[in-house]
């Protein structure tokens, strides 16, 4: 015989079958309850008590629950752990229900579809991404439903999956929805596991594609509709959003296309190595370029600034437009201060209007909207007075919404309750019927006091009192000692241990009137609130545009504030394919120095006489900082920011590539050297003559001669074929010979000052090549024991003497020849240059190699 459950549990099981992959929050009174496996998972993940409930058939089923008014906090914890939650509500009045109350899932919350403030970071987007592949083209359709953003992008060619992965890393989506088959899905899975391990993956299968196409055509205007392959991806995105949010999504009203030709490309390696918006330590904002430049006052501005840094511009014209605005705000500190103050009073408009559209905005949201819009007239006045084109255009177009401000001010109390269904949200004087009902409710207390006094006088029962409770309503309570004095018209209502409770026709009539008024007040207030909220909904597209305008203003003010505080200068943006920086400083490192002054450095890269900079010098001397500094200053310039430099002239680059640091990729079983070679291969495949390439210590992960050979071949390939502007740091001093052999390669080194056995790194990049590594000195700085340092110096001296002896032996010839001599001038000069006490084993081998080469040339071999 089939197992049977109570009707309520059967209802739960039926709804759960339709949402098997989600945790079902099942509404029972003032709680959301979970049963069976969901209860066990929720109790474990939320650390709440697992209990049980009679499920019928003589058995108890696992159960746990959370208060409905505090559900957002618990849902947030589940979502952050990668779970999906289905919210099941009562959809009919229990008083009118015949049998069990009807329940339905009213929305589904997934990591990519959250709307609650508790679940959303203020200054970061929360993207949901759909990926679809068709005819060797991968289309990505993405949306942040909390802000209404929606766009798509195509990725084609043999490296389309790599390009997609780089784009995904910049977006950091909370959820990715896969539709259909994807070529090389294993590569995508590996990337997600290593770089976006917190992202939830959802597989979506849609049998009827006509449904998605109808959604697409009805949602966006014809001029925004993409081609067939992209249309499928965007259609699937809309379908998934409708299935989860269960609203019309009218706030998602603009479909944009990402055009790679408009922006500098920053791949995953560069974004990580340069720590632009996420640090390498824990992926947070601390000590990133974003943390240094972010003086934004609004959540919208914070999100936009992050985008600007991850998608720098290529257009000289657009960069200069931003620069002009930053410049004007920098030279008008009074205006900048007023704008910062007013922007500080603006809440997250994008997300407020989204909550208004989906019906979750409460009274506090509308008050936040009113306060935000109240700042607009002052912002508009100051912005439209600016002379720069970008600010002037925004100021001219900005609306101020006095009608919405006035409506909310008339209707909504200044400090409304969180719930919109409990009353207390509408101001007195806004609606006559509501005011009359409130008068009835307010007069009730006076009536009750008068009624109680009159009954005491009439009956002579001085202890008589009138009360109320939710179960029995209003009553007259008389102690047992006074029961004999109770009038005959009193109707017994409830018996207590020491008293009796009664009702009278007059009190019953009052109860009906008052309770009816209170119920009507709550219903009318909610109705009036929805009318106001619907008025706001009519303006959603306009409000979204205003939010975007405010975000741009906020970003420009933020960049001008950074320039003022940090003494940044405006770089010239040119078309002559040069990068010239005078006294440049690392924007992050200089802010972290407490007692040191950051040493500035010059840079000059062009396609004439300095296309490749080979930078030698000891570890810890500042080579990596310098190279990252150049990359960050170029990026900042293309964002429209001023930069930490005395002066600069920069031509936009199409891409920035970085190969720095050493790390194993244990998840894929790749060694440090393999990771390094993969990254170098990626650069050599994708770099162009308009790119900026940063290479740090290529070839260190293998043997000396293998590494040196690879490093040299890479430099030659970049110089001869790609012709990208390149900074190449190396410990292979032999590579400095390339500067003599190839025009466009120049040697630079980090200046070092020696004081006896002490060495001081001066942090200055100067022309020339280094001739020492100072490895033991760096080991001393790192804190190796004194005995180890002393022993290393002894061993080094022995190895150097051994190496020199072998040099002499290797260069000795079996028989004198007229045209060659061991003691010929070049060899003598080279031997005299050798400092035996400081030469490392690697340098000794290099000396041997060089002398042998000279000997061969001298002997004619």
Cα–Cα distance list, 576 to 33, 332, 687 (Å): 67, 31, 19
Q: What are phi and psi of 664, to 5 degrees?
A: -85, 150
Q: Residue 309: which of 500, 570, 587 has the closest Cα?
A: 587
Beta bridge mates, 327: none
Q: Is 1 annotated as a binding residue?
A: no
Helix axes 505-537, 402-411, angle to 10 degrees: 170
Q: Residue 107: which of 253, 250, 241, 203 has the closest Cα?
A: 241
- Asked if 696 and 624 count as a contact pair (C-beta separation under 8 A), the reply is yes
Q: Is 487 annotated as a binding residue?
A: no
Regarding beta strands 610-616 and 744-755, do their DSSP bridges make them parallel or antiparallel, or are they unpaired? parallel
Helices (H), 398-489: 402-411, 432-459
In whole angstroms, give the CA distance from residue 83 to residue 23.
Answer: 7
- Sequence-separated contacts (24+) of 193-197 with Cβ below 8 Å: 193/667, 194/665, 194/667, 194/668, 195/165, 195/169, 195/268, 196/168, 196/169, 196/172
- Give me the residue label for tokens 């720098």: 312
CA-CA-CA-CA dihedral for 290, 295, 299, 303, to nearest 10: -30
Indicate the SS3 state at residue 227: coil
Q: What is the DSSP letter of 375?
A: T
Q: Residue 845: which of 664, 711, 672, 704 has the closest Cα?
A: 704
Contacts of 528 (CB under 8 A, 6+ apart): 411, 426, 430, 431, 434
Q: Is 82 annotated as a binding residue?
A: no
Helix axes 333-343, 316-330, angle to 10 degrees: 100
Helix axes 333-343, 376-383, angle to 10 degrees: 150
Q: What are phi and psi of 744, to 5 degrees?
A: 100, -10
Q: Is 624 annotated as a binding residue?
A: yes
Indicate the SS3 state at residue 829: helix
Q: Is 140 annotated as a binding residue?
A: no
In whole angstroms, give the CA distance from residue 98 to residue 89.
Answer: 17
Q: What is the DSSP letter of 427?
A: P
CA-CA-CA-CA dihedral for 783, 784, 786, 790, to nearest 10: -130
Q: Is 56 annotated as a binding residue?
A: no
Cα–Cα distance list, 819 to 379, 855, 860 (Å): 85, 11, 9
Beta bridge mates, 503: 491
- Give me the residue label for tokens 């490392």: 840
In whole angstroms, give the CA distance from residue 103 to residue 128.
Answer: 28
In whole angstroms, give the CA distance from residue 714 to residue 722.
Answer: 10
Regarding beta strands 137-144 and 149-155, do their DSSP bridges make them parallel or antiparallel, or are they unpaired? antiparallel
Q: Residue 603: which of 641, 650, 640 has the closest Cα?
A: 650
Q: Is 622 annotated as a binding residue?
A: yes
In whole angstroms, give the CA distance from residue 806 to residue 850.
Answer: 13
Q: Is 617 annotated as a binding residue?
A: yes
Handedness of CA 23, 27, 31, 37 (dihedral sign): negative
In whole angstroms, give the CA distance from residue 90 to residue 106.
Answer: 9
Handedness of CA 532, 537, 538, 541 (dihedral sign): positive
In whole angstroms, give the CA distance from residue 140 to residue 233.
Answer: 7
In whole angstroms, give the CA distance from residue 684 to residue 718.
Answer: 7
Binding-site residues, in ranges, read 617-624
Binding-site residues for ATP, in ranges, read 617-624
């Amino acid at each position: 015989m089939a197992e049977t459950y109570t009707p309520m549990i059967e209802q739960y099981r039926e709804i759960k079958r339709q949402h098997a992959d989600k945790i079902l929050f099942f509404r029972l009174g003032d709680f959301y309850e979970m049963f069976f496996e969901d209860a066990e998972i929720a109790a474990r993940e939320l650390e709440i008590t697992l209990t049980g409930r009679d499920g019928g058939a003589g058995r108890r089923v696992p159960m746990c629950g959370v208060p409905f008014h505090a559900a957002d906090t618990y849902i947030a914890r589940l979502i952050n752990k990668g779970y999906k939650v289905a919210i099941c509500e009562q959809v009919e009045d229990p008083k009118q229900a015949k049998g069990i109350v009807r329940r339905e899932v009213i929305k589904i919350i997934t990591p990519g579809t959250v709307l609650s403030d508790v679940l959303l970071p203020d200054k970061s987007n929360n993207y949901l991404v759909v990926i679809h592949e068709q005819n060797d083209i991968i289309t990505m359709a993405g949306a942040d439903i909390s802000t209404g953003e929606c766009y798509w992008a195509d990725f084609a060619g043999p490296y389309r999956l790599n390009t997609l992965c780089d784009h995904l890393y910049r977006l950091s989506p909370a959820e990715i929805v896969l539709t259909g088959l994807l070529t090389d899905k294993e590569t995508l899975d590996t990337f997600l596991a290593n770089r976006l391990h917190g992202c939830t993956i959802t597989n979506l299968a849609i049998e009827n594609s006509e449904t998605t196409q109808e959604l697409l055509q009805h949602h966006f205007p014809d001029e925004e509709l993409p081609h067939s392959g992209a249309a499928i991806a965007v259609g699937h995105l809309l379908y998934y959003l409708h299935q989860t949010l269960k609203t019309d999504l009218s706030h998602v009203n603009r479909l944009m296309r990402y055009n790679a030709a408009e922006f500098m490309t920053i791949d995953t390696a560069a974004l990580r190595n340069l720590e632009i918006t996420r640090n390498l330590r824990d992926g947070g904002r601390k000590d990133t370029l974003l943390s240094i430049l972010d003086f934004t006052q609004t959540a919208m501005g914070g999100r936009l600034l992050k985008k600007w840094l991850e998608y720098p511009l290529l257009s000289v014209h657009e960069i200069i437009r931003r620069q002009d605005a930053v410049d004007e705000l920098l030279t008008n500190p009074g205006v900048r201060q007023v704008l910062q103050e007013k922007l500080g009073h603006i809440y997250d408009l994008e997300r407020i209007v989204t909550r208004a559209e989906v019906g979750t905005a409460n009274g506090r949201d509308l008050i936040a909207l009113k306060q935000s819009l109240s700042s607009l007239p002052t912002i508009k006045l100051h912005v439209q007075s600016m002379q720069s084109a970008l600010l002037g255009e925004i100021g001219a177009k900005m609306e101020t919404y006095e009608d919405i401000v006035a409506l909310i001010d008339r209707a909504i109390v200044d400090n409304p309750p969180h719930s919109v269904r409990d009353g207390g949200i509408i101001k007195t004087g806004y609606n006559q019927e509501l005011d009359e009902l409130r008068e009835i409710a307010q007069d009730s207390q006076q009536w009750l006091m008068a009624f109680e006094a009159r009954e005491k006088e009439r009956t002579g029962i001085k202890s008589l009192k009138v009360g109320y409770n939710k179960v029995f309503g209003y009553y007259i309570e008389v102690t047992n000692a006074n029961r004999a004095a109770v009038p005959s018209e009193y109707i017994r209502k409830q018996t207590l241990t020491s008293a009796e409770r009664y009702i009278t026709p007059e009190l019953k009539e009052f109860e009906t009137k008052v309770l009816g008024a209170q119920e009507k007040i709550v219903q009318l207030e909610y109705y009036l609130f929805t009318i106001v909220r619907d008025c706001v909904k009519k303006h959603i597209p306009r409000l979204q545009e205003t939010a975007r305008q405010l975000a741009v203003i906020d970003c420009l003010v933020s960049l001008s504030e950074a320039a003022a505080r940090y003494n940044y200068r405006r770089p010239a943006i040119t078309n002559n394919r040069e990068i010239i920086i005078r006294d440049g400083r690392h924007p992050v490192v200089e802010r972290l120095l407490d007692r040191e002054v950051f040493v500035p450095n010059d840079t000059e890269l062009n396609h004439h006489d300095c296309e490749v900079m080979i930078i030698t010098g000891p570890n810890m001397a500042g080579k990596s900082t310098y190279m990252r500094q150049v990359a960050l200053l170029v990026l900042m310039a293309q964002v429209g920011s001023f930069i930490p430099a005395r002066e600069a002239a920069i031509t936009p680059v199409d891409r920035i590539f970085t190969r720095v640091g050493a790390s194993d990729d244990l998840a894929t079983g790749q060694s440090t050297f393999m990771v390094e070679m993969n990254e170098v291969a990626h650069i050599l495949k994708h770099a162009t003559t308009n790119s900026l390439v940063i290479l740090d210590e290529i070839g260190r992960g293998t043997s000396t001669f293998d590494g040196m050979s690879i490093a040299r071949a890479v430099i030659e390939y970049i110089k001869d074929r790609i012709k990208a502007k390149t900074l190449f740091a190396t410990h292979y001093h032999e590579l400095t010979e390339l500067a003599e052999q190839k025009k466009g390669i120049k040697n630079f080194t980090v200046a070092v000052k020696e004081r006896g056995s002490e060495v001081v790194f001066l942090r200055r990049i100067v022309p020339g090549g280094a001739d020492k590594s100072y490895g033991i000195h760096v080991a001393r700085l790192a804190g190796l024991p004194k005995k180890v340092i002393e022993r290393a110096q002894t061993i080094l001296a022995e190895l150097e003497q051994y190496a020199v002896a072998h040099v002499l032996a290797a260069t000795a010839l079996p028989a004198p020849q007229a045209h060659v001599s061991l003691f010929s001038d070049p060899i003598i000069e080279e031997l005299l240059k050798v400092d035996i006490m400081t030469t490392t084993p690697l340098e000794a081998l290099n000396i041997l190699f060089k002398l042998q080469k000279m000997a061969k040339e001298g002997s004619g071999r």
